[in-house]
Each structure stands twice: as structure tokens, then as C-alpha cells.
Chain A
């Protein structure tokens, strides 16, 4: 995310949009609403990916769109001292995800159950698997164990954890996005991580190789 640090810098022409800070885009959109689309172009992918990771792609298509509509409608309440709009947008998206807690929980549970089925199935057949397949399966299993662990977190802890891990927000940004004190973010994050490690540890299913997993996504 490269953004010009110039807070409140007013470009002379609309064509200079690319180097505007988010705050100045929002401020200009107060009078010229069309300008708000710049924020969409900047962050639609980020928000979509975040929501997709939490609720799946179908929900993400819809909620991402809704995030920007809500943001647009609330743009006059944007704190212009905040150069970057990402935390704000993530906060709106997270609130929307919050309306689908059950969907999220169901999805995480389903993913984690799939893991245990796969493991059981493999053992039951008792057939030796090829190494590559085994490796892929173990990575998948790890991901699914993680899903189970995430499902076990209290929703407010999960919000904080995933904003940090997937949204890339720091403590202050997470606090701002959720409208909670930084200290609360810190403690929730600490607890969430501890619980996550605990539940993954107890299941003893996360291979040490997980951090080395190659990922080919952007």
C-alpha cells in the first residue's frame, strides 16, 4: 500500500488522484461524491480478500460492495487526521462480518470437520499414500485444524486477531477500526494468540513445516 503521506494535500486537478491521501479523497468526496470511487479502486481487493477468508467468496462479493456503500454514506464522519482509510474500511467490513457470525462459525466448523474426516478416512483404509499427497494432505489438515481453533475463539477475539493477521493492521489501527481502546486490542490479541496456539498444540496436528508452506497467491 503505497500512499502519499501528504495529509489533506489538495491536488490541483482531479487527475492527481493517484497520489492523494485517503483522507483527502474522503474530504473531497464531501463536496464531490464521485471522488469516493477512488477508495474503491484502492481497497476493493483487500476488503474482498479479507471477507472471503472469513465468510467465503459468495458472501465476500456482497459484503465488500456493502462495505463501500456504507463507507460512502458515512464519509462525513471520517476522521480526517487519519491518512489511511484502510482501518476504517476494515472496521466496517468486520462489523458486517459480525452480522454473519453464524455463517462464519458454521463454515469454520465445517472446515475443521472436513479435516477429521480426511484423517479418519486415510487411517481406515490403511493404504500407504504417496509422499506428495501426504504432504499436501498434512498442509490441508493443518489449515483445517486452524479453522477449528478459530471457531473456538470468542468472536471479539477473532475480529482482533484476523484484522491483525489478514488485514495487516497494527494495534492502533485495529483499535480505531473497531472503536475500542488500544489496550483492549493488545489484551485480546494476546489471548487470542495464546488460545490459538493452545488449541492447535492440543490437537498436535500442525506440522512444524507449516510456516514454510509455499503460497502462490498474490
Chain B
């Protein structure tokens, strides 16, 4: 059919792929492969269950790896994020999380969760960037000391005493008792607070605290948390686009909150959190100013179940 127009033969000025270009392209692919391999778990370790979820192996090399979904042809059948509300996005994220979490290993109480979290902080002024890769080993039932790394510093957390509680809990066996129904979860977060913008803000921040690691979410809890967030008034999609571990992210935040949740633009997979912080207030020209503002993204690169502290998957 196209023969009549001469289209199939039309070559313009194209020439075959040059060996050097092929080698360069192949090297780029291998670099991306290598980058992922270095950042993700090796499989095939029998005793150690390795989770290869949405977070794992996302560290992508090469800049500019995103494909714009919206095109200037403005095609009605092409997914277009701008038409998606924050609540819809959160529900999609919940579905994606639920699907991914099917592979969550069931740990024994005497084991540890190994988590590796990547933190990237960019200062607004000057664009200076700092990164940390924190590794933590959390006792599954909280009966043994945990090793928690935060911004590079290692904390040896003893088991909680009989009258101590962590809120929200960090211990997996405690988190398992939490409701996986979004409405119940929301009620738990809202406690007895009267309906007000303050309650929305507090609830949003509490969910953020729950999602901030290191913490391993039992099946269903994370997706329930996203669905609960979808019910909070004022949740919105941030216009800023975020790059998380080389993936194109969109942020869902709430007015008044410094926190935002980051999701993959294409798959709605949960990528991590973003926080705006680091204010030091000082007087500039007779006015109190917030300075030293930074954006910090925090994403979980790996979760695995291991037998002892120090053991890596």
C-alpha cells in the first residue's frame, strides 16, 4: 500500500549503524546493567529471601531516561497525567503496591530485615548535593537490638522496654496488627481529632512518618496507607518534577506539609518520600528568614530478610 508513495524505499540520508556507534550504544546499555547489578540484590541465595520489588534495581544510569507521556499531538488515548487527580494517583499507586507486594517474604521472628535507603539532599541555594546510603538491620519482632543507620551514623537501638512504645511502630510484628483497611487506618490516624484543616495536615504528616524508614511494611499496609491519603482533603500533585534514582517521579503533597510522596510517573510505583527542610532561621535585613533550605528525597533501594546483623543479601 505504501509502495505507491515510495515510502518504504525512502532512506533520506541514513547510513548503516557504524561500528563505533554500536559499540558506544552497547557500552551504555552494559553500564546501565552494571549499575543496576551493583545496586540490587543477587538472586539465588536460598536462606535469605530477597525482595525484588518496585524499589529494587531502580538505580538507573544515564541521564534523560524518561519518555514524555504527553505528546504534542495530544492524543486522547495516550495516558496523560495532568488529567489524573492526586486521589486517583494514590489509588493507582495502592494497586501497584498491592501487586508488587505479593512477593514479600514472610520473615521469622528471629530474623532481621535488611534495608538500604538512598538519601539525596539538594540545597536550594547553590545546588550543592549530598547523598547517603544507609543500611539498617531491624529485628523482626523487636526482641533483639537493631542496627539503624541514619545519615551515615549507625545507631544501635536496644529492644524497647516493657513500658516503651514507638509511634508509629517500627517493629514488624507490631505493624502487622495495624488495619489494612484504608478507612480503619484513617480513623486510627485521625484519632479523636475534630474535622479541621489541622486534622488533615496532622494525618498527612503521620502517614509520612509511617512511611519514612527504616521500616518494613507488612502486606496491605502500605497500599492501605495510600488509599487513606487519597481521602485526605487537599492532597495534590506537585507541579515540580522529581528525579528519583534516575526515575521520573511525581510528588503528591498536602498544603502545609513539608513532606511529599513520590511515585513513578509511568507505573505509579512508590519511589519514596521527599521532604523540604533544613531551615535555620536568621535575621536578614531586619527580617526573619529561613535559610539553608533543601529538598531531600529518600528511597528504599532494597529490602531483604537476613539472619543476622551485618549480613547482606
Residues of chain A touching chain B, judged by Cβ–Cβ distance below 8 Å, are 30-31, 33-34, 36-37, 40, 44-45, 48-49, 52-53, 56-57, 60-61, 64-66, 68-70, 72-74, 77, 92, 95-96, 98-99, 101, 107, 111, 142-143, 146-147, 149, 154-156, 159, 161, 164-166, 178-181, 184, 193, 196-197, 200, 206, 210-211, 213, 215, 217-218
Contact = CB atoms under 8 A, between A and B. Distances in A.
Interface in B34-54: 36-37, 43-44, 52
A143 B6 CA distance: 7
B65 A40 contact: no
Contacts of B7: 146, 161, 165-166, 196
Given A33-B37, A65-B24, A49 B75 contact: no
A193 B26 contact: no
Contacts of A155: 71-73
Given A61-B25, A101-B72, A179-B78, A197 B10 contact: no
B283 interface: no
Nearest to A213: B9
A61 B29 contact: no
Interface of B: 1-18, 21-22, 24-26, 28-30, 32-33, 36-37, 43-44, 52, 57-58, 60-62, 64-65, 67-68, 71-73, 75, 77-79, 246-247, 266-267
A146 B10 contact: yes
Contacts of B65: 66, 69-70, 73
Given A44-B25, A69-B29, 12 more contacts: A31-B44, A48-B22, A61-B21, A66-B65, A73-B246, A99-B68, A143-B6, A146-B10, A155-B73, A180-B77, A217-B11, A217-B16
A72 B32 contact: yes
Interface residues of B, dominant DSSP: loop
A49 B14 contact: yes
A49 B15 CA distance: 8
